[in-house]
């Protein structure tokens, strides 16, 4: 027990080190180098590829030398979100984390416990000299948050294990055995601009909860970009304006918690008053779900501005008002499971086009294909271009899984109750590995985390400790 307690403390030391390394999706070279150095410092063999994936191999301890390896897996990248006034540069700065009671949080940014805590736990196992375990194949993948790119590019022939423990779940009481597949869907439509004279007014919606577009899609959280479209369409009825630009969200797989529009009007006072009245009515409607939602309107300079033509403005508002968004179907087989959904995660205005980027999810491949067809028709009939990328298949439930039984038994012995066996409406790399490795027996576990993909993200320290110690028990029993 002393050995486990010692290694548990190491988990949080590694997590602190990982927080100091910039590792947003698409910016994973530094964290790859950190992992390779870690392997060298601990005398372990490491493999790295062009996608910055890292595999670290550790032999089994005494008595486990001839046991087949167990794969421990987590992803290196994180979703980078920050408060508007945060000075952090995610390309070169690490996360400033701090402890608040039983929680680790970040200062004005996402924490990256999704999935830094998994990497930390695995490193503690790899660095241990005392924990009993089979040979370990530690797989650290990249760019999971933008389409599981690293996992899809990994040459899995470098792996011999057929049992895999993924540590990318976010509820300690849940044993995850199935997940949704998904894709990234981008709509681009051209816009015309015209020179308009008037006063620029900045309209900003903020304070919404946001959240993970998979695990939080059923919580009734309001999409800031969709809400902005609703308000602007209502505002158009009472106050004339043109739109210079509109933007909301920065990640396709995060529910936008803010949206900002730059408008032009020849009646500044009337526009601001009407906008506040429109928002007041909507705020009463959504106040229980979004108690901190607020609007800010600021009059700026007067002059000539290149604004969207009236036709382009009206097309944009039509798209925002009629776009599919949120839950489209619930499972008829698993009570309470969202089966199919989509999230308008990014809304961007360029010089001559507007981009709407979605994250699509479904636990059934046919339903995902239908949702892609539905969006394609929605876009084509509105004269838009479409692009689908990052598609990955669902991870289907395996009925007779020795690893599920082993983990459930260890959990029950520790906590006196069974874990919840669950399928989730979010993507896990288990789906990719299950397709690439024949007869893979896979589970996903993890500690309690809250508000991931948002600036309010937090990690329960006590929960992380319990899950790590449970992981050590499971490894000891993998013979």
Active site residues: 77, 144
Residue with tokens 């776009």: 323
Judging by beta carbons within 10 Å of its beta carbon (0-12, 13-18, 19+), is residue 403 exposed, middle or buried?
buried
- Number of neighbouring beta carbons within 10 Å of residue 261: 24
């Amino acid at each position: 027990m002393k050995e486990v307690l010692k290694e548990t403390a190491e988990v949080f030391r590694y997590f602190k080190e990982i927080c100091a390394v910039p590792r947003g999706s698409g910016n994973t070279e530094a964290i790859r180098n950190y992992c390779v150095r870690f392997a060298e410092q601990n005398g372990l063999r490491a493999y790295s590829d062009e996608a910055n994936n890292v595999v670290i191999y550790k032999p089994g301890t005494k008595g486990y030398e001839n046991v087949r390896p167990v794969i421990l897996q987590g992803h290196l990248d994180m979703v980078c979100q920050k408060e508007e006034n945060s000075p952090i540069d995610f390309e070169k700065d690490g996360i400033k984390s701090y402890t608040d009671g039983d929680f680790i949080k970040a200062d004005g940014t996402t924490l990256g416990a999704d999935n830094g805590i998994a990497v930390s736990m695995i490193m503690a196992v790899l660095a241990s000299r005392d924990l009993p375990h089979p040979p370990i194949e530690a797989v650290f993948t990249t760019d999971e948050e933008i389409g599981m790119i690293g996992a899809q590019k990994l040459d899995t022939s470098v792996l011999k294990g057929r049992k895999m423990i993924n540590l990318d779940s976010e509820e300690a009481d849940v044993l995850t055995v199935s997940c949704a597949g998904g894709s990234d869907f981008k709509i681009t439509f051209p816009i015309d601009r015209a020179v308009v004279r008037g006063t620029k007014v900045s309209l900003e919606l903020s304070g919404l909860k946001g959240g993970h577009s998979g695990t939080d899609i059923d919580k009734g959280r309001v999409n800031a970009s969709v809400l902005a479209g609703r308000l602007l369409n209502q505002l158009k009825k009472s106050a004339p304006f043109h739109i210079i630009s509109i933007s909301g969200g920065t990640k396709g797989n995060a529910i936008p918690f803010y949206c900002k529009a730059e408008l032009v009007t020849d009646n500044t006072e009337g526009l601001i008053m009407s906008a506040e009245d429109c928002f007041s009515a909507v705020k009463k409607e959504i106040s229980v779900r979004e108690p901190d939602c607020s609007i800010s309107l600021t009059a700026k300079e007067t002059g000539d501005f290149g604004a969207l033509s009236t036709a382009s403005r009206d097309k944009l508002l039509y798209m925002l008002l009629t776009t599919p968004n949120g839950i489209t179907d619930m499972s008829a087989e698993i009570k309470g499971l969202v089966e199919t959904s989509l999230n308008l995660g990014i809304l961007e205005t360029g010089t001559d086009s507007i981009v709407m980027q979605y994250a699509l999810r479904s636990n059934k491949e046919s339903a995902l294909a239908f949702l892609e067809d539905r969006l394609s028709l929605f876009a084509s009939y509105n004269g838009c271009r479409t692009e689908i990328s990052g598609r990955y298949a669902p991870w289907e439930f395996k009925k007779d899984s020795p690893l599920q039984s082993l983990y459930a038994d260890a959990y029950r012995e520790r906590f006196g109750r069974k874990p919840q066996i669950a399928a989730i409406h979010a993507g896990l790399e288990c789906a990719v590995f299950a397709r690439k490795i024949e007869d893979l027996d896979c589970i996903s576990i993890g500690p309690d985390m809250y508000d991931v993909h948002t600036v309010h993200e937090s990690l329960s320290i006590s929960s992380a400790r319990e899950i790590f110690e449970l992981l050590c028990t499971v490894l000891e029993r993998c013979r």
